[in-house]
Structure 1
Amino acid sequence: MNLTRRNLITLAGSAVAAGALSACGSNKGGIGEGSSPSASGSAAGNAVSLTQWYHEYGEAGTQDAVKKYAAGYDKASVQVKWNAGDYAKLLSAALLTKDIPDVFESEMGPSIDMIKAGQVADLTDAIGEAKSRFNPELIERMSYEGKIYGIPQVVDMHLLYYRRSLLEKAGLQPPKTFTELVAAANKLKTKDMGGLFVGNDGIGPIPTALLYASGNDWFDEGRTKAGFLDASFYKALTDFRDLFNSGALLQSASKDWFDGSPFANEETAMQWGGLWSMTDIQKTLGDDFGVLPFPAVGDKGKQATMFGAFGACVAAKGANVEAAKEYVKWLWVDQTDHQVDFANNYGTHVPAQGELAPKCTKLAEGAGADAAKILADFGKPASDILWSGAMGDAFNAAVSNIIKKKADPAKELAAVGSRVTAELKRVKG
Structure 2
Amino acid sequence: MARWKLGIAAAMVGVMGAVAGCSGDSGSSGESTLDVWFNDPGTELQPVIQKVMTDFETAHTGVKINLRFVGGADTHQQYLTAVAGGAPPCVAQLGNTWTPEFSSMGALAEADLKLDEAKQRFVGSMVDSATMDGKVYGYPYNVGNRAFVYRKDLLEKSGVQVPKTWEEVATAAKKLNEDNKGEGIAGFGIMGGEIWQYVPLVWNWGGDIAVKEGDSYKATMNTPEAKAAFDWYAKLLTTDKLSPPDAANWVAADGTKAFALGKVAMGIYASFQLKSMLAQSPDLKEKVGVVELPTGPGGNNDTFAGGSNLVVFNDCKDQENARALVRHMAEPANVTGYTRGIGMLPASLAGIQEEQTSGSFADPLFKPFGDQAKHTRYVPADPSWGKVEGSGALVNAMQALMGGKSDLNSTMDKLNTEITEAFGK
Q: Do they superpose with TM above 0.5?
A: yes
- In 2, Cα distance between equivalents of 1:423 and 1:109: 15
2:346 to 351, 376, 396: 351
Given that 2:312 and 2:323 are in contact with CA atoms closer than 8 Å, whether structure 1 keeps it comes out as yes
Deviation at 1:179, TM superposition (A): 3.1
For the pair shown, the structure with the greater C-alpha radius of gyration is 2
Give deviations 1:70-127, integer Å, cap 9, x for gaps: 1211232222222332233433333323552222222216443322221111113599
Q: Aligned runs of 1:213-292 on 2, under 5 Å? A: 213-220=204-211, 224-245=217-238, 246-250=240-244, 251=246, 256-257=251-252, 260-282=256-278, 284=282, 285-292=284-291
Residues 274/183 of structure 1: CA separation in 2 closer, same or farther (3 Å cut): same
Identity %: 19
Q: Which amino acid aligns with 2:368?
A: D
State the secondary structure of the residue aligned to 2:252: coil
Match in the other structure for 1:42: none
Using structure 2 for the length normalisation, give the TM-score.
0.77
Residues 111/358 of structure 1: CA separation in 2 closer, same or farther (3 Å cut): closer
Deviation at 1:230, TM superposition (A): 1.4
Match in the other structure for 2:127: 139
Match in the other structure for 1:212: 203
Given that 2:194 and 2:395 are in contact with CA atoms closer than 8 Å, whether structure 1 keeps it comes out as no
Deviation at 1:424, TM superposition (A): 4.9
Match in the other structure for 1:49: 33
Match in the other structure for 2:25: none
- In 2, Cα distance between equivalents of 1:198 and 1:65: 36
Match in the other structure for 2:413: 414
Given that 1:395 and 1:416 are in contact with CA atoms closer than 8 Å, whether structure 2 keeps it comes out as yes
Q: Aligned runs of 1:288-367 on 2, under 5 Å? A: 288-297=287-296, 299-300=297-298, 302-332=300-330, 335-343=331-339, 345-360=340-355, 361-367=359-365
State the secondary structure of the residue aligned to 1:205: helix
State the secondary structure of the residue aligned to 1:366: coil
Match in the other structure for 2:386: 389
State the secondary structure of the residue aligned to 1:384: coil
Deviation at 1:137, TM superposition (A): 3.1
- In 1, Cα distance between equivalents of 2:121 and 2:10: 36
Match in the other structure for 1:403: 402
Residues 215/33 of structure 1: CA separation in 2 closer, same or farther (3 Å cut): farther
Q: Which amino acid aligns with 1:62?
A: L
Q: Which moved more, 1:113-122 or 1:190-199?
A: 190-199
Residues 398/46 of structure 1: CA separation in 2 closer, same or farther (3 Å cut): farther
State the secondary structure of the residue aligned to 1:77: strand
State the secondary structure of the residue aligned to 2:273: helix
Q: Aligned runs of 1:100-139 on 2, under 5 Å? A: 100-108=88-96, 110-125=98-113, 132-139=120-127
Residues 140/84 of structure 1: CA separation in 2 closer, same or farther (3 Å cut): closer
Residues 34/241 of structure 1: CA separation in 2 closer, same or farther (3 Å cut): farther
Residues 282/421 of structure 1: CA separation in 2 closer, same or farther (3 Å cut): closer
Residues 289/80 of structure 1: CA separation in 2 closer, same or farther (3 Å cut): same
Structure showing the higher helix proportion among its residues: 2
- In 1, Cα distance between equivalents of 2:417 and 2:79: 29
1:67 to 12, 26, 50: 50
Residues 314/307 of structure 1: CA separation in 2 closer, same or farther (3 Å cut): same
State the secondary structure of the residue aligned to 1:73: helix
Residues 160/32 of structure 1: CA separation in 2 closer, same or farther (3 Å cut): farther
- In 1, Cα distance between equivalents of 2:173 and 2:116: 48
Given that 1:33 and 1:85 are in contact with CA atoms closer than 8 Å, whether structure 2 keeps it comes out as no
Given that 1:46 and 1:77 are in contact with CA atoms closer than 8 Å, whether structure 2 keeps it comes out as no
Residues 206/80 of structure 1: CA separation in 2 closer, same or farther (3 Å cut): same
Match in the other structure for 1:80: 67
Q: Aligned runs of 1:141-160 on 2, under 5 Å? A: 141-160=129-148
After superposition, the CA RMSD in angstroms is 3.5
Deviation at 1:69, TM superposition (A): 1.0
Deviation at 1:164, TM superposition (A): 0.6
Q: Which amino acid aligns with 1:73?
A: F
State the secondary structure of the residue aligned to 2:149: strand
Given that 2:112 and 2:323 are in contact with CA atoms closer than 8 Å, whether structure 1 keeps it comes out as no
Residues 95/402 of structure 1: CA separation in 2 closer, same or farther (3 Å cut): farther
Q: Which amino acid aligns with 1:77?
A: K
- In 2, Cα distance between equivalents of 1:32 and 1:204: 30
State the secondary structure of the residue aligned to 1:50: strand
**How many residues are treated as equivalent by the alignment?**
383
